[in-house]
Structure 1
C-alpha cells in the first residue's frame, strides 16, 4: 500500500501500523481492551485480537491512503484521510484515536464516507473475514433487504 502524509501530520504508531500493514503492528498500538467503533461496523468490536484482525484486513485492502490533516490533544488524535481500495472504492473520512496514559489506543473510531462506498467496503471486508470475525459485525446487503420495519410490506 502506498501511504502518504501531508502537511503537519506527525508520524505515530497508528500510521506506522498502516505502513507496515501487519497484525503485529496494529497489536502494538492497541490496548488489550480496545473498543472499535466504525461506520463500517454494525456494532462495536471490543478486544485487541479482534480489532487487530479487522484492521490488518482493512489496511490490506487499501491501494492508497493519504493522511491529509491532524488535530491533537493530550489523549486524543483526529486524522483526516482519503483512500482508494484495490477494488476501486474511493473513500475519505476521519479516524479518532483515544489513548491511555501509556499511549496505547483504548478507543478507535473510524468514520468513512460517502455512504455508497462505505456500504460496499463494509460488505467486502466482512466477506474477506469470514471464519475469522463474525460476519454480523459488517453490512450484509441481503440481510438488510429482508429485515427492518418495512420488511413485511415487501413480501
Structure 2
C-alpha cells in the first residue's frame, strides 16, 4: 500500500491506495486517529492526480472527482457509497432518502453506519448526508470538518 500526506485547508490528509485505486482518505485532524502501518510505502508521485483534484476541489474549481477508487466494504456499504457519489456538489440528502434510493427504505440507520465506514471521505461525499430534520448529524472526523465541507460547496 502506498501513501502520501498532503496539506489541506482542514489540516493534513493521508491518501492511501494501490494499483487498484484509492482506499483511504484520512483526516489527521479530527476524531479518527491513525498510525501509518510500517508496511505502507510513501509515494508522492502515485497520488499526484488525487492531490491535484483535491487542491482544485478546495479552491472551488472542481465539483466532481474522477479517480480510481477501491474502498473495502460489504455489498450494502458499497451500494450506499455509490449512491453518495450521485449526490450533486453543493446538495445534501437525508439518510432516509439514501435508504429509499437503494431500495431499502427502512435501512436508514444502516445507511448511517455505512456512511460512518466510508474510508474515502470527500471523494465519496458522506459529508453531504444530513438528518431528516435538516440538522448535521455525526461525522466520523468531526462535525467541524463536515460543516467546513458543506460551507465550501455552498459558497462555490
Higher percent of residues as strand: 1
Which structure has the greater CA radius of gyration? 1
Please confirm whether the aligned pair reaches a TM-score higher than 0.5, indicating the same fold.
no
Give the TM-score range, shorter chain.
under 0.3
- For normalisation by structure 2, the TM-score amounts to 0.25
